[in-house]
Each structure stands twice: as structure tokens, then as C-alpha cells.
């Protein structure tokens, strides 16, 4: 495999990250997730939101690159969350997104991104990491390999 590098995103990465987020959510829809918006203005607002969040103290976007391309091949997003005041306080890393371009999958890039995100969470004084995933998501096995376990079941019903 080509040399892999992982770095924190820069504001100029916002458009690429938004495009990858769109691809990730479209894949999730094919596994039973929500259909993605066709509203281009919503995607433009999302790109601006990502641009604003890059570099925030308790929020991180990581970008994976390999030597055979100048374009990033994947990304991960995490944020430090503090649980509700009704629970004992604790800092939790919530993993919002993990995506690797299809042609670069099964090369350890997703694992490296996730591991780097977990390390960022430790440096940020988090005591736990959490994420949400769909039952049919092929990445579930990666999450389980890295020690994630099912905790809750979210139930839905069509009306």
C-alpha cells in the first residue's frame, strides 16, 4: 500500500469533506438509513458549518491521504460531548462520521482514522467513545474489532 498519512483538516478541505459526507449518507440510505437531501442550499450550509467547525477546540475532522493521490481518501469527525446534567458528568468522544472512498477500502485506512480519532479523544480527556451505526453497515465489524459494543437499541416505526 502507498504511504498513509492522517492529519487534522484545514478549512480548504471543507468542500471535499462535504462531498464525502454526502457519499457516506447516500451509502447509509442504501443500508436502511434516511434519504439524503436534494437541496443544494442545505449542502452549501453544511460546507460552511464544516468550515466553521474545523479547528474548534472540542471538535475534530481528520483527513486520510495516500501518496498516490493528492486528494484525501477518507475522513473522520468527532466531538467532545458532556452528558446531561441529570447524569454524573463525564467527557465522551462522540464519533459522528467515518468514511473511506470505496476504491481505498479494506486497506486499513478506516482503522487508522478511527484509531487516530480515539487517540484525539484520549488527549481531550474523554473517558469513553461512542458512535451510532446502522445494522447493515459493513464497518460494524471494524468497530467491534476496536472494542465497541452494543449498548442501546433504537426502535423506529413508520406512521
CATH code of the domain containing 14:
3.40.630.30
Work out the average pLDDT over 87-109: 92
Query: Percentage of the chain with pLDDT > 90?
Result: 74
Beta-carbon count within 10 A of 92 CB = 15
Q: What is the pLDDT of residue 1?
A: 53
Domain assignment present for 101? yes
Q: Is residue 152 part of a domain?
A: no
Query: What is the predicted pLDDT for the residue at 32?
Result: 84
Predicted TM-score (pTM) of the model is 0.90
Decide if 159 is inside a domain.
no
Q: Which three cell numbers stand for residue 26?
A: 447516500
Evaluate whether residue 153 is within a structural domain: no
Cβ-based neighbours of 97, under 8 Å, separated by 6 or more = 21, 24, 75, 76, 77
Provide the domain limits for residue 138.
Answer: 4-145
C-alpha to C-alpha distance for 81 and 63, rounded to whole angstroms: 21
Q: How many domains does the chain have?
A: 1
pLDDT value at position 103?
93
Is 156 part of a structural domain of the chain? no
Whether residue 154 lies inside any domain: the answer is no
pLDDT tens per residue across span 101-157 = 999 999 999 999 999 999 999 999 999 999 988 888 888 889 999 999 988 888 888
The Cα 109–Cα 62 span in angstroms is 12
Averaged pLDDT, 85-100:
90
Number of H helices, E strands in the chain: 4, 5
Residue 151 lies in a domain: no
Amino acid at each position: 500500500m502507498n504511504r498513509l498519512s492522517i492529519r487534522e483538516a484545514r478549512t480548504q478541505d471543507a468542500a471535499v469533506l462535504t462531498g464525502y459526507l454526502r457519499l457516506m449518507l447516500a451509502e447509509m440510505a442504501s443500508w436502511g438509513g434516511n434519504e439524503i437531501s436534494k437541496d443544494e442550499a442545505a449542502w452549501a450550509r453544511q460546507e460552511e458549518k464544516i468550515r466553521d467547525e474545523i479547528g474548534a477546540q472540542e471538535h475534530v475532522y481528520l483527513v486520510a491521504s495516500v501518496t498516490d493521490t493528492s486528494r484525501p481518501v477518507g475522513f473522520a469527525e468527532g466531538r467532545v460531548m458532556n452528558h446531561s446534567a441529570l447524569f454524573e458528568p463525564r467527557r465522551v468522544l462522540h464519533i459522528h462520521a467515518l468514511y473511506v472512498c470505496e476504491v481505498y477500502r479494506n486497506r486499513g485506512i478506516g482503522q487508522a482514522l478511527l484509531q487516530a480519532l480515539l487517540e484525539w479523544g484520549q488527549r481531550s480527556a474523554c473517558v469513553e467513545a461512542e458512535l451510532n451505526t446502522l445494522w447493515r453497515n459493513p464497518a460494524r465489524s471494524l468497530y467491534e474489532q476496536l472494542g465497541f459494543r452494543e449498548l442501546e437499541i433504537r426502535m423506529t416505526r413508520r406512521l
